[in-house]
Structure 1
Amino acid sequence: MKKGLEQFMTPFRMIIVAYVISMFLFSFLLWMPFSHQAGVNLSYFEAFFTSVSAVSVTGLTLINVSDTLSYTGVFFLALAMQVGGIGIMSLGTFVWMLFKRKINLSQRLLIMVDQNQYQFSGMVKLMRGILLLALAIEAVGALILGTYYLQHFDTIGEAYYQGSFAALSAFTNAGFDVTGQSLIPFANDYYVQFIILLLIFAGAIGFPVLMEVREYFMTKGNRFKFSLFTKVTVTTYFLIFILGAVGIWVLEKDMFYDGMAWHQQFFYSIFNSATARSAGLSTMEVSSFTLPTLLFISSLMIIGASPSSVGGGIRTTTLAVMFLSIRSFALGKSEVKVFGREIHPEDKQKAFMVLSFFLFGLFSAVTLISAFEQGNADVELIDIIFETSSAFGTSGLSTGITQSLSSASLVLLMVLMFIGRVGILVLLFSVKRKETKSHYRYPTERMIIG
């Protein structure tokens, strides 16, 4: 019986179970009376939705955090965001090291799956480095923002409380806030926006990239070579960021931006381009944008952040590999080459699988929610597309319809947020059967495609 359970619980399934358990655990903690402000009633469904959104670092919510949760509740919410952002195995590794527990082979394998890594060796060192680096970035961000917030809040405690939560939310790309208005109060404060942007970049660029950058500065660049992953990831991430900012500006320069100063247009464009990828924080009401811009931002949320980061979506490398494959085909080449290296055929297959599953899931979800919300005058198709893209890409931006959706639609959004956090490949590999060697092969025949 035990052996059969061990065979059934593959590392991919164990990771999924771990995230499910954490979501139920935090939902129970948030539901408890000590997590609410006096006189506030929070249903278990609202607590569970908040927990799923926090652990999946999305940011969609049915409640106003500042009006609903007590300081204890905000602490649990922040802890859920930390678990979801850094990864449950990263924090698990920290606990194991804290109690001087030896990390065995199976636990190292779980770490590898959780962080989407190929190298089995050095996993514990990687996790320790990721955790320490993440906490250091969050601490510096909290210190900078908290100190700056002293001029905006009445007490030192409130200033650093707001600054710490904002830094955590930005780095983990969770999208939650304790201001009650996201970053709208700082719409014209470019210093705060700049710090938030740096934290968003740090969380979304990918932990392997951060580790390589740290190693580069520690070795002072002596004979250090960045990996192909880092080169492709950084290039793709910032290229999409620039194209996103330009696209938003072009679509809105004669609409929402009409009459604004150039610096307002600039910061609205770059901030929305960055936050759409997975952060979910906003300096304006997103619903103020026109239909083409909402569709464009939906595409940015679908792309998402980088692999092994706090963000979701199809990820930057998936888009890069698909684009490079199309380019190679157009040039009459069978190999996909970039930066003096050749992309592994298995990675091309994975990119196709991720993109296909994501688009199929997104289309199915939009169709189902449209069916669930028939007759709901507060919800339009563009709102559904935007909300679904936000949930699946774990972005958290919303046109404001979340609280207007039916329970069936909200359950579906929770499923999308969960899949977006654990990763499509982890989900697919969790249902994949063990490979068996075939003792015979059928004759090959060509198929007409396209």
Structure 2
Amino acid sequence: MRLELPLFNKIELTAPQFIVIIYAVATSISAIMLSLPWATKPGVDLSFVDILFTTVSAITVTGLTVTNTAESFTPFGVGVIAASMQAGGIGIMTLWTFVWVVLGKNIGLGYRQLIMVDQNRNQLMGLVKVIQLVFGFAIFIQFVGVVYFASIFYYRGYYPEIGQALYYAVFHAISAYTNGGFDIFGNSLIGFQNDYLVQSGSMVLIVLGAIGFPVLIEILSYIHSRFNKYQYRFSLFTKVTLFIYFLLLVLGAAGIWLIERAGVLADKAWHEQFFVSMFLSVTSRSGGLTTIDVTNLFVPTLFFVSILMFIGASPSSVGGGIRTTTFATLILAVRSFAMGKRHIHVFGKRLDDEDVLKSFVVFTTGVILIMGSILVINILEADNASLVNIAFEVTSAFGTCGLSTGVIPEFTNISKFILMVLMFIGRIGILAFLFAINHDKKPSNYKYPVEKIIVG
């Protein structure tokens, strides 16, 4: 369907195509700003590809880097990266809509379609109210995060000056909540490996960003119902999202502990093992921050974490991947088929057949993208990285996670461009990507005869 926009009424574009252009333009602007002489520190010489890679990583809130952020960029450059993460995490259309509403402007149907695609929503009704809540959540949660981390950084002596503590707190709060994965500490959160307050606060922000805006809105509605004494029922989406998200967190932490108890966790106390395992499970959903050196993990752990990154965060969140509800739908579909059931039932409801089909499309497309990228990059980088490291970087890019084994700086420009494309697709979503490359042909008015084939 053609997008109706007052300012662009002569442009034949669909909403997904326009969203791609918007993010491409935003990436270009950020790249230009990051290319300015005062954005990098004296003596730092970054190529255009490296600057573009950093910008794409920030806009898509991934966190993969080709250079040390703290050592390469000035406060101005750091500010550009932070602003890019904020725009990419909350959503460019969300920020634009909020400003438009504050100015008293009406939000037309065309712009509502863009918001719907940007926020991965399936209906136009109530979108403006949703955007206001999303923006409000983001500002409030990050403000609390800034106060929390600034207090810890200052009173625990990490940064003796309050201005310095605030500087690091603001960036870290944005990076954690948007699941951006960037850090200006120099070594992610490895320096805070024994500070459980910093780790706990970071995990809370990562979860709040990755759990999905619709879930946060429904939780707020539930709290409101408790205070005003009326009954409120969570939607099936929220029930499935909460269940699968926290189930994966627990199973992820348990799996990491089981594999690494004889590895990086061998010489640690039980509480250290718990926090390392839990933090890695939380951050692998899309966070990108880490408290350990990923290169020290066993190969099975890297593979296991790659699966978690491939699944990613929840829909309508700041994270990427195939999304948690897609994974849940696939598991439920296999279960129902094995039990001989025609439809998928969960929490007393039947899943829509179109949503089931979408889940298989998303999963299949994701697997094709991942496997194809691994194959091409492995051919190009056979001398620079092992297959497992390449697979880890590829899934990290697709899941907009940002965990890395540190091999990307040695990659050729072609491999970096492949990772940039994966980050971009991971941010806008596979369905939006597929719709964007679709020519929007009119549906046929006739049907072909049905004939069965042998499968399985």
Matching residue of 2:386: 380
Matching residue of 1:109: 113
Give the 5 Å matches for 1:23-172: 23-150=27-154, 151-172=157-178
Distance in 2 separating the partners of 1:433 and 1:42: 38
Measured after TM superposition, the shift of residue 436 of structure 1 is 3.7
Matching residue of 2:211: 205
Matching residue of 1:348: 356
Q: Secondary structure at the match of 1:233?
A: helix
Please state if 1:275 is matched with 2:283: yes
Distance in 1 separating the partners of 2:209 and 2:197: 19
Distance in 2 separating the partners of 1:222 and 1:152: 47
Matching residue of 1:249: 257
After superposition, the C-alpha distances for 1:339-359 in whole angstroms (9 at most, x for unaligned) are: 111100000000000000000
Give the 5 Å matches for 1:306-317: 306-317=314-325
Give the 5 Å matches for 1:168-187: 168-187=174-193
TM-score, normalization by structure 1: 0.97
Distance in 2 separating the partners of 1:124 and 1:23: 25
Worse-matched range after superposition: 94-103 or 238-247: 94-103
Matching residue of 1:430: 436
Distance in 2 separating the partners of 1:227 and 1:142: 32
Distance in 1 separating the partners of 2:147 and 2:265: 33
Distance in 2 separating the partners of 1:439 and 1:305: 38
Q: Is the 8 A contact 1:31 1:43 kept in 2?
A: no
Measured after TM superposition, the shift of residue 441 of structure 1 is 3.1
Aligned residues, how many?
A: 447
Give the 5 Å matches for 1:285-304: 285-304=293-312
Alignment root-mean-square deviation, CA: 1.5
Matching residue of 2:234: 226
Matching residue of 2:220: 214
Distance in 1 separating the partners of 2:450 and 2:272: 60
TM-score, normalization by structure 2: 0.95
After superposition, the C-alpha distances for 1:368-421 in whole angstroms (9 at most, x for unaligned) are: 001111333xx1111000000100110000011011111111111111101101
Distance in 2 separating the partners of 1:252 and 1:342: 39
Q: Secondary structure at the match of 1:179?
A: coil
Distance in 1 separating the partners of 2:444 and 2:81: 50
Measured after TM superposition, the shift of residue 119 of structure 1 is 1.9
Letter matched to residue 100 of structure 1: G
Distance in 1 separating the partners of 2:324 and 2:225: 28
Matching residue of 1:392: 398
Letter matched to residue 416 of structure 2: L
Matching residue of 2:243: 235
Q: Is the 8 A contact 1:286 1:399 kept in 2?
A: yes
Distance 1:6 1:315, change over 3 A: farther
Distance in 1 separating the partners of 2:444 and 2:45: 59
Matching residue of 1:402: 408
Distance 1:140 1:445, change over 3 A: same
After superposition, the C-alpha distances for 1:182-234 in whole angstroms (9 at most, x for unaligned) are: 00110011111011010011000000001111111122262111111100001
Q: Select the residue among 9, 18, 34 that pairs with 1:14.
A: 18
Q: Select the residue among 371, 379, 394 that pairs with 1:371.
A: 379
Distance in 2 separating the partners of 1:375 and 1:12: 38
Measured after TM superposition, the shift of residue 41 of structure 1 is 2.8
Uncovered stretches (5+) of structure 2, i.e. residues with no partner: none
Distance in 2 separating the partners of 1:347 and 1:60: 31
